[in-house]
Each structure stands twice: as structure tokens, then as C-alpha cells.
A and B are shown apart, each in its own frame.
Chain A
Amino acid sequence: KAGVTQTPRYLIKTRGQQVTLSCSPISGHRSVSWYQQTPGQGLQFLFEYFSETQRNKGNFPGRFSGRQFSNSRSEMNVSTLELGDSALYLCASSLDRRTSAMQYFGPGTRLTVL
């Protein structure tokens, strides 16, 4: 069974631009969660989608948004990029986060904001 894939793996943007990251979960998984990982703050939860609906949201500004498609693939968008948005963005898929604690992470997208 193929694992979680994230594209692109690396991205360089400048301040003020926007970016869209993509995550394809494991086949059959309907829950996708997004996390931001930085050296200073560690792994922080951004949001979770299930069946095209955002179910939970972390404490991030509205510049961070996401969506999920009918095939469970998910995208996250960051608008008006700031230097502090430089991070590894990870997505994790699970059958259903509310009923299963098993989540599988993708390799991440490394975003650098200049």
C-alpha cells in the first residue's frame, strides 16, 4: 500500500507571496491532518479534514487555510507569507482521527521564505 505523499518536497518563496501544498493520503484514509514543524516551536497542529470538512483547527492565523477533495487529497494554502512561516509542513492520514489514533505522516514539504 502506498504511503502518504506530499508535493512539492521543497519550496522557496519570498515574503508576501502565497503557497499551496498538496497531500495525498493512504488509499482508504479519510482523515488528513496538517502540522507545522519548526526548530523553535516543534510540531504544531494546523487543522484536520475529514470527508471534505474541516473538523478541528489549531491556533494559527487565518492566512493558513486548507481544503479536502472528494478523493481525500488535501491542500493547504498560506497567503501573504512571512519569514516565520519557514518550516517543514507535514500531513498525516488516518482512517478517521476520532476513532483511530493510528496516523501516518508524509515526508513533508520544506518551505523556505526569503
Chain B
Amino acid sequence: TQLLEQSPQFLSIQEGENLTVYCNSSSVFSSLQWYRQEPGEGPVLLVTVVTGGEVKKLKRLTFQFGDARKDSSLHITAAQPGDTGLYLCAEDNYGQNFVFGPGTRLSVLP
């Protein structure tokens, strides 16, 4: 059974600070996705990473996929209040279904 762990569970920072959140799996990913979910809304896909060692950038967000494809990180530079939300990683179970991590709840204070 695939298990995804995310850390930290909660994070509260001031506007302008940098932060990194992590996602780890008990098994090798086929591919991994990161989502952001705001209260009362469904998750919104941020990025899909497939290749070990892959790095993708989306404005102030940098996503990294571990070489062994068992871990991933999301780094946010100069966080803004608009970055507040629940960050979820999800592992693609070879097209069968997605397994989601428990999420990191980020709060960026102005």
C-alpha cells in the first residue's frame, strides 16, 4: 500500500519569508503532482513531475523530484498572503488512481 507523508503538517510564516515543504513516499513514484487547495474549493494542479532529479519552476515556486523518485519538495520564495492554502502532493498509481498525502497547511501573514 502506497503511503505519502508530508511535512510539516502546519506552517505559519510572515510575508516575504522563504519556505520548503516535503513529500515522501514508501515506494517509487511513477509521477508526482502538487496541488494547492483554498478553503471551500477543490485542489488546483500546480505541477506534475515525472523524471528523477527533475526541477520545475512556476514563478516563485520551485518543485524538485528526488533522484530515487521517492521524495519531492516544494520551495516558495518570498511568500505572499495569496500563497496561503493547503498544499497536497499526490502520487499517480500508474494510471489507476491518485494517492494523496495529508497536506501541509500554509498560512502567510501580512
Report A's interface with B, CB cutoff 8 A. 4, 33, 35, 42-45, 48, 56, 58, 90, 92, 97-99, 101-108
Interface hit among B14-22, B64-72, B98-106: B98-106
Residue of B nearest to A41 (CB): B102
Q: Find out whether the CB atom of B41 lies under 8 angstroms from the CB atom of A108.
A: yes
Which residues of the other chain, B, contact A45 by a CB distance below 8 angstroms? Answer: 97-99
Is the beta-carbon distance between A97 and B95 smaller than 8 angstroms? yes
Cα of A113 to Cα of B101 in the assembled complex, Å: 25
B residues with a Cβ closer than 8 A to A are 31, 33, 35, 40-45, 48, 88, 90, 92, 95-103
- Judge whether A101 and B33 touch: CB under 8 Å: yes
CA of A106 to CA of B42, assembled, Å: 5
How many A-B pairs fall under 8 Å by CB? 46
Are A42 and B97 also in contact (CB < 8 A) when A4-B42, A101-B48, A102-B45 are?
no
For the complex formed, measure the closest distance between the CB of A45 and the CB atoms of chain B, giving whole angstroms: 4
Residue among B31, B41, B102 making CB contact with A107, cutoff 8 Å: B41
In the assembled complex, the Cα of A102 lies from the Cα of B98 at a distance in Å of 11
Q: Provide the residues of chain A in CB contact with B48, threshold 8 Å.
A: 101-102
Could you tell me the distance between the alpha carbons of A43 and B96 in the complex, rounded to whole angstroms? 16
Contact A43 B97 (CB under 8 A): no
> Which residues of chain A are near B103, meaning CB under 8 Å?
42
Closest to A96 in B: B95
Question: Hey, which chain B residues are within 8 Å of A48, CB to CB?
Answer: 97
